[in-house]
Amino acid sequence: MKQQQYKTIEQQITPATPYVLNAFKAFVVGGLICVIGQAIAFFYMIFFDFTEKTVGNPTVATMIFISMILTGFGLYRKLGQFAGAGSAVPVTGFGNAVISAAIEHKTEGLVLGVGSNMFKLAGSVIVFGTVSAFFVALIKTLLVMMGVLQW
Amino acid sequence: MKYFLSIVGCVLLLSACASAEKIVMYDEQSDKAREIKQQLEKTKEVEKANVVEIDDEILVAVQTKPLNSFKERKTAKKLQDKLEEKWPNYDILVSSDFKLYWETSKLIAEKDRQRVSEKVKELKKLAKEES
């Protein structure tokens, strides 16, 4: 069998990926996660002394806590299978990436297992985020110093 | 059951649309509050607002229309600049923060002026909080 033949047969057999359905599922589930996040933000603003400016931190912490519990019980995996990017893109997906790696490598010990493998997937995100934030802040500081922008 | 739900849905929808007053003042007799109200009515981005004017403190909490929420802080800043120009001796804060809107909505019904004054000071302090 030649390579070309194999390719055509493979393409015939492979089921078509339901892109539209996947995008729809991701849209709905991702939107639902954001609605829950907004509800938690309102909860903190109404019952505690947080303003819109300061409510971000406790909301994110709560969302990650919820995703931690769901990951521990193996429920986030099912959600991820159903929704794909819808559950991976919000901050809960980031929490899931850290926590599931930590659980997976627990048997190898706390330092060499959990410690060194926890940030396997999320480490690059953290490094990229920190470095890009540093550069954006640097550019803004320079622009403010030159008088183009204001804080 | 379906019939019942549709009626409840209609009532809820209608009652939500017919909110009586969009710009509410704490002291309706005050000229300053009325002037601020006129100013707010002229600003087309503003959907709802609470105006609390007590002693030499003015607190205006605005909520913008959904499509304008991306520039709600700019809208509030512009309003603040206008009001500060008009009354330079007053301690004025215009905010688009939901927390301030929620708290001032509760203040509108409060009778005790001393309590309102204290609460306004507290809210202004809270609005400055960064962390």
Q: Closest by alpha carbon to B55, among B118, B131, B129, B11?
A: B118
**How many percent of chain B have pLDDT more than 90?**
37
Write out pLDDT tens, residues A2-56: 899 999 999 999 999 899 999 999 999 999 999 999 999 999 999 999 999 999 9
DSSP B90: S
The domain ranges of chain A are 2-118, 120-151
* Interchain CB distance below 8 Å, A53 and B98: no
Residues of A in contact with B98 (CB under 8 A): 42, 45, 51-52
Sequence-ordered list of residues with C-beta below 8 angstroms from that of B100, at least 6 positions apart, any chain: A51, B59, B61, B123, B126, B127
Structure confidence at residue B77 as a pLDDT band (50, 70, 90): very high
d(CA B81, CA B84): 5
Write the DSSP symbol of residue B23.
E
Q: Could you give the CA distance from residue A132 to residue B115 in angstroms, rounded to a whole number?
A: 46
Read off the pLDDT of each residue in B86-109 and give the average, rounded to a whole number.
91
Q: What is the ipTM of this complex?
A: 0.78
DSSP class of A56: H
Chain B residues touching residue A52 (CB < 8 angstroms): 97-99
List Cα–Cα distances, A106 to A69, A76, A100, A111, A114, in angstroms: 16, 19, 10, 9, 5
In this predicted structure, what is the pLDDT of residue B8? 66
Query: Quick one: which H or E segment has residue B95?
Result: strand B91-95
Whether the predicted pLDDT of B18 surpasses 70: no
What residues of A are in contact with residue B129 (Cβ under 8 Å)? 51, 53-54
- Token output for B51: 């105006």
For the cut 80, the answer to whether the pLDDT of residue A143 exceeds it is: yes
- DSSP class of residue A16 equals P
From the list A118, A79, A73, A78, the residue with the least C-alpha distance to A95 is A118
What would you report as the CA-atom Rg of chain B, rounded to the nearest whole angstrom? 17
Question: Quick one: pLDDT band at residue A102, thresholds 50, 70, 90?
Answer: very high
Res A41: pLDDT:
96
Residue-level pLDDT at A31: 95
Per-residue pLDDT tens for B24-51? 888 878 888 888 888 888 888 889 999 9
Mean pLDDT of the region B95-110: 91
Considering the entire predicted model, what is its pTM?
0.81
pLDDT above 60 for A134:
yes
Question: What would the mean pLDDT of B98-111 be, rounded to a whole number?
Answer: 90
A89 band by pLDDT with thresholds 50, 70 and 90: confident
Residue B78 distance to chain A (closest CA, Å): 15
Note the pLDDT of residue B14: 61
Q: How far is CA A4 from the centre of its chain?
A: 39
CB contact under 8 A, A51 and B129: yes
Q: For residue B128, which of B85, B93, B98 has the smallest C-alpha distance?
A: B93
| pLDDT score of A59 more than 70 | yes
Least CB–CB distance from A54: residue in B100, B102, B129: B129
pLDDT at B31: 84
Report residue B109: phi and psi, to 5°: -85, -10
What residues of chain A have any CB closer than 8 angstroms to a CB in chain B?
A: 42, 45-46, 49-55
**Residue B107: CB atoms within 10 Å:** 19
pLDDT in tens, A70-87: 999 999 999 999 998 999
Query: Residue A98: which pLDDT band, with cuts at 50, 70 and 90?
Result: very high
Q: Chain-centre distance of CA A7, in angstroms? A: 35
